[in-house]
Amino acid sequence: MSIYWSRPLIVYPTFLKSISFRPLAALWQQAASALARADLVDIYGYSLPESDGAVRALLNILPVRLARQAVRVRVHDPNAFVRKRWMYFLGKRARATGDRLG
């Protein structure tokens, strides 16, 4: 894997996120490809805010794959509201726990 930039990059949750930045677009495509092939997806520490439309679009494949039983998705978050948001987004086949990372 090649390095696209020499400084850290933070992509924050917002509907204004632009993935047209070439290195970010390539990374986004790799993420989409990985989600399309994954057997198991564990999600830690991301609250899935309504404002992050780009990530929601990226993750839209998960409810479809869950419905076909092609992937298992587990969301780990101590916040009950966040877990409920994820379950609404993903559907009944996903699992959510109050686990923390580490």
Maximum distance among all Cα pairs of the chain, rounded to whole angstroms: 41
Note the pLDDT of residue 18: 58
* pLDDT tens, residue by residue, 5-45: 565 555 555 545 556 666 777 888 888 999 999 999 999 98
Contact 36, 61 (CB under 8 A): yes
Q: How many helices (H) and strands (E) does the chain have?
A: 4, 3
The mean-pLDDT minimum among 21-35, 61-75, 88-102 falls in 21-35
Q: Tell me how far apart the alpha carbons of residues 34 and 68 are, in angstroms, rounded to a whole number.
A: 17
For the chain, the structural domain boundaries read: 40-97
Of 53 and 94, more confident: 94
DSSP E strands: which ranges in the chain?
A: 40-44, 72-76, 95-97
Q: Tell me how far apart the alpha carbons of residues 52 and 46 are, in angstroms, rounded to a whole number.
A: 11
